[in-house]
Amino acid sequence: MSETSARPPSVDTLARSLTGSGLPHPILVDIARAAIAAGRPESAGEHADAFRRSLLTPVVNATGVLLHTNLGRAPVAHAQAALAQTVEFDLATGTRGSRQQAVGQLFARLCGAESAMIVNNNASAVLLVLAALAAGRDVAVSRGESVEIGGAFRVPEVMEQSGARLVDVGTTNRTRLADYERAIVRPGNDVALVLKVHPSNYRVEGFVEDTPVRELAELGIPVVADIGSGLVDATVPWIHGAPPAWLAGEPAAVQTIADGADLITFSGDKLLGGPQAGIIAGSAELVARCAAHPLARALRCGGLVLSTLQEVALSYLHRTVTTDIAFWRMVDQPVSQLRDRAERIIAASGVGSVVDSEALPGAGSAPGVTMPSIGVSVEGDMLSSLRQHDPPVIGRTRDGHTILDLRSVDPADDAIVIAALAALPT
Ligand SMILES: *Cc1c(COP(=O)(O)O)cnc(C)c1O
């Protein structure tokens, strides 16, 4: 009785006792107050720990999903001092410049397009293109491409928000050029453009046919292709060897522009391997109309993203992609190297065995295809213990085993994997 009836500590005393958590005092006061009110002051430490773990935390991605949507898609290195930079400043004239100029010109060069601009993400890019080029008018979209991409990007809903009207063309499995032609000439229709959407995260098989950009370009109205994943060039000249098999069928910026798309849109943080951003590239006139639309101001990105994206574009142009860009570094690792790493990790931690694994590009890119990989396998479901490690290691389970796939792990983080494995309960 005497133990439980002891006076609870004051909120301030309890909060101060949690300073070691590294959390700011006002947060600790909230936690202390709630724990005292619940009659369990001794639980405050756990709550502080849980709060700390609810903050954005760097983790080791051992899932084998290289662009893991829940882990921020492409991992990007970035360091920037608090310096002013020429975000909207023209050094030649000393007057205001265009926010789109610096990075836009690099992406235009990369894609083989006349012009390019950058917005917040690919959803913004599609929204802006539709609002700027087709508000109050019709946009022809194949029924097979009226899709939802992960994270609630739904073509009909984006269309509605843009003020453009969706005109369904063809059928779910087959859409031919003649279907588009009919939609364009149908009395009452006012088709401003054709939107072709890459159905990134699913695949229809069997009796299917879509109309390639090359044919759509004959229609005589602007063709906008949302290629989604941001593969720059289908020939993948920046990696060692031939284009990997898992990329087959993935639309690429250079080829889609060369095939006659008037505009393309894609994400910055998928196969491009950069920060979250949306790239619009193509005809100078159409890009200028997008840039002049009032929504462009609301959807623009800041200097932090622009300077990171500039580094990414320069890496492609310098052909240093597989050294500079984490995603392509992971892709480029030979299986033999992954196997060596797995053996070293197992020897150093004294835990696990080497297994063949299959890694995925992720982020809805190249659905249904895998790339060969190697994992460290441990018996049982250890996912929770591995998440408790500091820093957390995120794996997956398969057939009653926990697999840590090494293709998505930076070799510099192997030491963390070793420590996390060695700390597992036996
Ligand atoms: C991923 C994707 C989007 C959404 O891009 P975000 O950059 O996530 O906004 C839109 N369209 C396609 C085809 C995609 O693959």
Counting from 1 in the atom list of ligand 1, the atom nearest the Cα of 150 is 1
- Taking CA atoms only, the protein residue closest to ligand 1 atom 13 is 228
50 lies in some domain: yes
State which residues form the domain around 42.
17-54
- Encoded tokens for 133: 């080029």
- What is the spatial distance between Cα 171 and Cα 23, in angstroms, rounded to a whole number? 56
Single out the residue in 289, 324, 359 at which a domain terminates: 324
- As a residue count, the chain comes to 426
Find out whether the beta carbon of 67 lies less than 6 Å from any atom of ligand 1. Answer: no
Single out the residue in 324, 350, 380 at which a domain terminates: 324
* DSSP code string of 134-198: HTTSEEEEEGGG--EETTTEEHHHHHHHHT-EEEEES-SSB--HHHHHHHHHSTT--EEEEEEE-
2 lies in some domain: no
CA-nearest of 81, 212, 215, 98 to 144 is: 212
Find out whether the beta carbon of 146 lies less than 6 Å from any atom of ligand 1. Answer: no
User: Distance from the CA of 34 to the center of ligand 1, in angstroms?
Assistant: 41
4 lies in some domain: no
Find out whether the beta carbon of 229 lies less than 6 Å from any atom of ligand 1. Answer: yes
Which of 124, 130, 153, 305 is the pocket-test mutation for ligand 1 (most atoms within 8 Å of CB)? 153
365 lies in some domain: yes
pLDDT attached to residue 203: 75
Domain match, 223 and 353 both: no
User: Distance from the CA of 187 to the center of ligand 1, in angstroms?
Assistant: 33
User: Distance from the CA of 37 to the center of ligand 1, in angstroms?
Assistant: 46
Domain match, 288 and 353 both: no
Domain count, the chain: 3
Single out the residue in 301, 324, 347 at which a domain terminates: 324
Domain match, 174 and 254 both: yes
- Taking CA atoms only, the protein residue closest to ligand 1 atom 1 is 228
392 lies in some domain: yes
Domain match, 300 and 156 both: yes
Domain match, 272 and 372 both: no
Domain match, 131 and 216 both: yes
- What is the spatial distance between Cα 146 and Cα 175, in angstroms, rounded to a whole number? 12
Domain match, 260 and 365 both: no
Label residues 320-357 b or e (16+ Cβ within 10 Å = b).
ebbebbbbbbbbbbeeeebeebbeebbeebebbebbeb
CA 86 to chain centre: 26
Answer for the pair 96, 85: CB distance below 8 angstroms, yes or no.
no
- What is the spatial distance between Cα 213 and Cα 310, in angstroms, rounded to a whole number? 28
Counting from 1 in the atom list of ligand 1, the atom nearest the Cα of 199 is 13
Counting from 1 in the atom list of ligand 1, the atom nearest the Cα of 269 is 7
Domain match, 247 and 278 both: yes
Question: From first to last of its 426 residues, what are the pLDDT tens digits of the chain?
Answer: 444 557 888 999 999 999 999 999 999 999 999 999 999 999 999 999 999 999 999 999 999 999 999 999 999 988 888 999 999 999 999 999 999 999 999 999 999 999 999 999 999 999 999 999 999 999 999 999 988 887 778 999 999 999 999 999 998 889 999 999 999 999 999 999 999 999 877 777 788 888 999 999 999 999 999 999 999 999 999 998 889 988 988 999 999 999 999 999 999 999 999 999 999 999 999 999 999 999 999 999 999 999 999 999 999 999 999 999 999 999 999 999 999 999 999 999 999 999 999 999 988 777 778 999 999 999 999 999 999 999 999 999 999 999 999 999 999 999 999 999 999 997
Report, in this order, helix, strand and coil percent for the chain, each rounded to 5. Answer: 40, 20, 40
pLDDT attached to residue 1: 40
CA dihedral 66, 67, 73, 79 (to 10 degrees): 40
First to last CA, the chain: 39
- Encoded tokens for 67: 């662009």
Which of 200, 263, 305, 309 is the pocket-test mutation for ligand 1 (most atoms within 8 Å of CB)? 200
Domain match, 315 and 364 both: no
- What is the spatial distance between Cα 215 and Cα 226, in angstroms, rounded to a whole number? 16
- What is the spatial distance between Cα 25 and Cα 17, in angstroms, rounded to a whole number? 11
81 lies in some domain: no
Count Cβ atoms within 10 A of the Cβ of residue 306 and give its class: 0-12 exposed, 13-18 middle, 19 or more buried: buried
- Taking CA atoms only, the protein residue closest to ligand 1 atom 12 is 228
Counting from 1 in the atom list of ligand 1, the atom nearest the Cα of 276 is 7
**Reading across the β-sheet that carries 353-362, which strands appear in turn?**
65-67, 353-362, 371-379, 401-405, 396-398
CA-nearest of 333, 395, 29 to 341 is: 333
Q: What are 355's strand-pairing partners?
A: 375
Positive or negative: CA dihedral 318, 101, 304, 309: negative
User: Distance from the CA of 122 to the center of ligand 1, in angstroms?
Assistant: 5
pLDDT attached to residue 2: 43
255 lies in some domain: yes
- What is the spatial distance between Cα 270 and Cα 346, in angstroms, rounded to a whole number? 31
User: Distance from the CA of 304 to the center of ligand 1, in angstroms?
Assistant: 21
Answer for the pair 90, 306: CB distance below 8 angstroms, yes or no.
no
pLDDT attached to residue 194: 98
CA-nearest of 302, 306, 280 to 292 is: 280
Strands 165-169, 138-142: parallel, antiparallel or unpaired by DSSP?
parallel
Domain match, 185 and 290 both: yes
Contacts of 110 (CB under 8 A, 6+ apart): 232, 253, 254, 313, 316, 317
Find out whether the beta carbon of 153 lies less than 6 Å from any atom of ligand 1. Answer: yes
Domain of 133, CATH number, reads 3.40.640.10
pLDDT attached to residue 153: 87
Find out whether the beta carbon of 121 lies less than 6 Å from any atom of ligand 1. Answer: yes
Alpha carbons within 13 A on the beta-carbon side of 254 = 11
Q: Which helix (H) or strand (E) holds 106?
A: helix 101-111
Domain match, 339 and 244 both: no
Question: What number of other Cβ atoms are within 10 A of residue 127's Cβ?
Answer: 25
Answer for the pair 263, 280: CB distance below 8 angstroms, yes or no.
yes
Domain of 350, CATH number, reads 3.90.1150.180
- Taking CA atoms only, the protein residue closest to ligand 1 atom 14 is 228
10 lies in some domain: no
* DSSP code string of 187-223: TT--EEEEEEE--TT----SS-B---HHHHGGGSS-E
Q: Which DSSP letter does residue 62 get?
A: -
Domain match, 126 and 249 both: yes
pTM for the structure as a whole: 0.94
